[in-house]
Amino acid sequence: MTVSQASQTSQVSRAKGVVCAVLLVIGCLVAGAATGIAYLSHPLGPWDHQAFDHIRLFGKIGLAFASLTAPVAVPAVACGWLRPWWIVPCVVVTMAAWGRLTVFFPAH
């Protein structure tokens, strides 16, 4: 492999890492915002069905976007385009959204 080929390979690898990083940042921001909204919503009582639906909706949106970031993060880290810490925000947001939908869901 010549020097110019090695340089081109390095540039392509760097470009793939940047694309993956942008996708992960956008996905984690959307998932984090939706999960945050789900945690900030509090029903006034057992009759407040709109609040319960609101929590479910934004919890599911957060979980969906967090789950969509994993298929981007894992191969990017495995190929060496991104560092391993990029998986941490995906896992944290996924667990937070899952927790709001299950363990921390307000009682009816």
Residue-level pLDDT at 49: 93
Residue-level pLDDT at 108: 76
Instruction: Give the residue ranges of DSSP H helices in the chain.
Output: 3-40, 49-78, 87-101
pTM of the predicted model as reported, rounded to 2 decimal places: 0.87
| Mean pLDDT of each 10-residue bin along the chain, 108 residues long | 65 90 96 97 92 96 94 93 94 96 90
Structure tokens at 103: 């363990």
